[in-house]
Structure 1
Amino acid sequence: MTTQVQNLWKTTTGLPVVGGSIGKRVFSIAFAQKAPYFATIHPRVVDLRPNYAEVLIPKRRSVQNHIGTVHAIALCNGLEMAMGGLAESTIPKNKRWIPKGMTVSYTAKATGDVTCIAETDQEQWDTAEGDLPVRVRGQLADGTVVIDGVINLWVTSKK
């Protein structure tokens, strides 16, 4: 099963440019329009496949707080965008989802670009009905985790 989001990802990243960087930029802009507040973090979708997504938040002035690190809400927006890409790429055609809640811990200062990662296991989706926890984290290029948590989805059958 291939979803609309996966088809768009494959089409845009398949554009004839070295490494698909133009295609990833086109996809990132298009996907950010699903929830326009995503655009406020200037996201770059790095990887997108069933059960896994990565979104890069570049550290720039517009996402910094008063101490010069990436601010908490920007991090949460990046995690939510990664989770949304994962969910749209993974959910069975007969199901639908909506975010139910988010629990996060800020574990270190976000002093540089942050890669937001969302992960699930296929078994979660195969039996999904009700709560479905998505593991999320944000990390710096050196692997330092700056935010860690879970976004809970509410998954139901389509009527």
Structure 2
Amino acid sequence: MTDVLALYRRTAALPLGKKLFSFLYAQKAPYFWTVRPQVRDMRPNHAELTIRKRRAVENHIGTVHAIAACNGLEAVMGLLAEATVPRGKRWIPKGMDVAYTAKSTTDLLCTADSDPADWERGGDVPVRVRAIREDGTTVVEGTITLYVSDRK
């Protein structure tokens, strides 16, 4: 278990623990704080967080900006990666391929999922990501490719 996953498990058990963990996580990668991610779940091969639709992340038409949604997707991918990366390995994002499929008119649930077998062989690991409106409509979906290698 990685240090990040261990910290999540310890803090999530406390009152307001997920809020505390969300704040700490966003401070580790300060750009994530722009979307104020609220972590809902973190475990190997799956992670979830929400981002609120608020003025600071809206575009000129009043929806959540596409790049803000992608920021949420990258944050949730990082949670999944930290929960899943095998001991002795490290990861780094290599690329993102997303499609904007609907307007982001509400708060968004961002999810990330991967297949366990992909992590064992290393190299390129695809992580499936989605941003979902409150009515269940997927507004952004795609893949973030990670490069997994041996830790030096």
TM-score category, normalised to shorter length = over 0.9
Unaligned runs of 5+ in 2: none
Match in the other structure for 1:4: 3
TM-score (norm 1): 0.93
Q: Sequence identity, in percent? A: 57
Structure-2 separation of matches of 1:105 and 1:34: 28
Deviation at 1:125, TM superposition (A): 0.9
2:101 alignment counterpart: 107
Amino acid of the residue matched to residue 156 of structure 1? S
Structure 1 distance, partners of 2:82, 2:9, is 14
Q: CA RMSD in A?
A: 0.8
- Structure 1 runs (4+) deviating above 3 angstroms are none
Q: State the secondary structure of the residue aligned to 1:135.
A: strand
Counterpart check, 1:119 vs 2:113: yes
Map 1:7-156 onto structure 2 (within 5 A). Answer: 7-15=6-14, 17=15, 22-128=16-122, 130-156=123-149
CA distance in 2, matches of 1:34, 1:156: 22
State the distance in 2 between where 1:142 and 1:124 align.
32
Q: Distance in 2 between matches of 1:99 and 1:147?
A: 18
Give 5+ residue unaligned stretches, structure 1. none
